[in-house]
Amino acid sequence: MDFKQDVIDKSFEKPVLVDFWAPWCSPCRVLGPTIEKLAEEQQQLWDLVKLNTEEEPQLSQQYGIRSIPNVKLFHKGEVIAEFSGALSRTQIQEWLDEHLPNEQKQEIVGLIEQLENGNSETVLPKLQALLDENPSLVDVRVAIARHLVWRKPADAINMVEDIKLADAQSEQAEDIRQIAAFLQTDLDDSPAGQHLAKAKTAAQQELWAETAQHLIDAVSTDRTFQEDLARKTGIALFRWLGVQHPVSKNYRWRFDMALY
């Protein structure tokens, strides 16, 4: 390894993570496969260099390595962040999300904002292209799924199917799954079923106030219908809309009163 070439010079092109480790270090053997897998998945965003402290004692001393594993993030020739210990995949991803200098991240934030403001015709293909290049972009997955869920629930579920409970944005992914399950549920002609059918029709037309009211009516009629379908869907809907949405402000308290 040429540290100057592989780390310092390379970090002017792309951020470089250096994993300081040693063969005798048990936590290093835990961290290693996890961070290597992330590096493989996110090779468009950053590079990984493994540095054996037994073979490179001068570099270890130069960068103040007192315990291993130690991971340092290099950008434009400088260390801009670091962590020690065998973090979990989720913890590493959160650390990366916080510290990676990434122009693409700013682009993604802007595109998601445009998508949420209704500019889907030009924005959606761009987000999909980014996701095709880097499937680990969970925020892009969730944004596309949120856009699709009311009209294409099956496609929305596919977008978030591998987002687990411990992953970033898992709550939003679960809300998307719940909304999609509601839209795909066959409803009978019972009073609760009729209210839910009306809620489904209103939602597909983006009539959120009517959707909320029909869900409230369904909860009031039979809260336990279809394993609490109206309650679970109502909670997911209000979280999907957000607490500042006018419908959330006007109907969430009514929904809560109907529950209790």
DSSP assignment letter at 228 = T
Contact 174, 142 (CB under 8 A): no
pLDDT for 116 equals 86
Each domain of the chain, given as residue ranges in start order, spans 3-99, 103-180, 185-259
Q: Confirm whether 135 is a catalytic residue.
A: no
Catalytic residue among 7, 17, 18, 28: 28
pLDDT-based confidence at 18, cuts 50/70/90?
very high
Given a cut of 70, whether residue 102 has pLDDT beyond it is no
* Summary mean pLDDT of the chain: 91
What would you measure as the largest C-alpha separation in the chain, in angstroms? 76
- Pick among 3.40.50.920, 3.40.30.10, 3.30.1390.10, 3.40.50.300: CATH of 3-99: 3.40.30.10
Secondary structure (H, E, C), 137-206: CHHHHHHHHHHHCCCCHHHHHHHHCCCCCCCCCHHHHHHHHHHHHHHHCCCCCCHHHHHHHHHHHHHHCC
Given a cut of 80, whether residue 154 has pLDDT beyond it is yes
pLDDT for 135 equals 84
pLDDT-based confidence at 249, cuts 50/70/90?
very high
Given a cut of 90, whether residue 5 has pLDDT beyond it is yes
Give me 94's structure tokens: 């959160």
Q: How many helices (H) and strands (E) does the chain have?
A: 13, 4
What pTM does this model have? 0.62
- Pick among 1.25.40, 1.10.10, 3.40.50, 1.10.3470: CATH of 103-180: 1.25.40
What phi, psi does 24 have (nearest 5°)? -80, -5
Given a cut of 90, whether residue 69 has pLDDT beyond it is yes
Cα torsion at 99, 103, 105, 110 (round to 10°)? 140
The residue type of 252 is R
Candidates 129, 183, 122, 134; CA nearest to 155 is 183
Cβ within 8 Å of residue 7, ≥6 positions away: 16, 18, 49, 74
pLDDT for 133 equals 84
Q: Confirm whether 25 is a catalytic residue.
A: yes
pLDDT for 208 equals 97
Domain 3-99 and domain 103-180, same fold? Reply is: no
Among the residue ranges 22-36, 64-78, 103-117, 126-140, the one predicted with the least confidence is 103-117
pLDDT-based confidence at 182, cuts 50/70/90?
very high
User: pLDDT tens digits, residue range 195-229?
Assistant: 999 999 999 999 999 999 999 999 999 999 999 99
Stronger pLDDT, 148 or 133, i.e. the higher one:
148
Handedness of CA 207, 210, 212, 217 (dihedral sign): negative
Given a cut of 90, whether residue 73 has pLDDT beyond it is yes
Catalytic residue among 16, 18, 25, 157: 25
Q: Which residue has the tokens 């979280």?
A: 239
Given a cut of 80, whether residue 250 has pLDDT beyond it is yes
Rounded-to-integer distance, Cα 214 and Cα 227, Å: 17
Q: Which residue has the tokens 């270890």?
A: 60
Candidates 47, 79, 85, 87; CA nearest to 62 is 79
pLDDT-based confidence at 186, cuts 50/70/90?
very high
Secondary structure (H, E, C), 43-97: CCCCEEEEEECCCCHHHHHHCCCCCCCEEEEEECCEEEEEEECCCCHHHHHHHHH
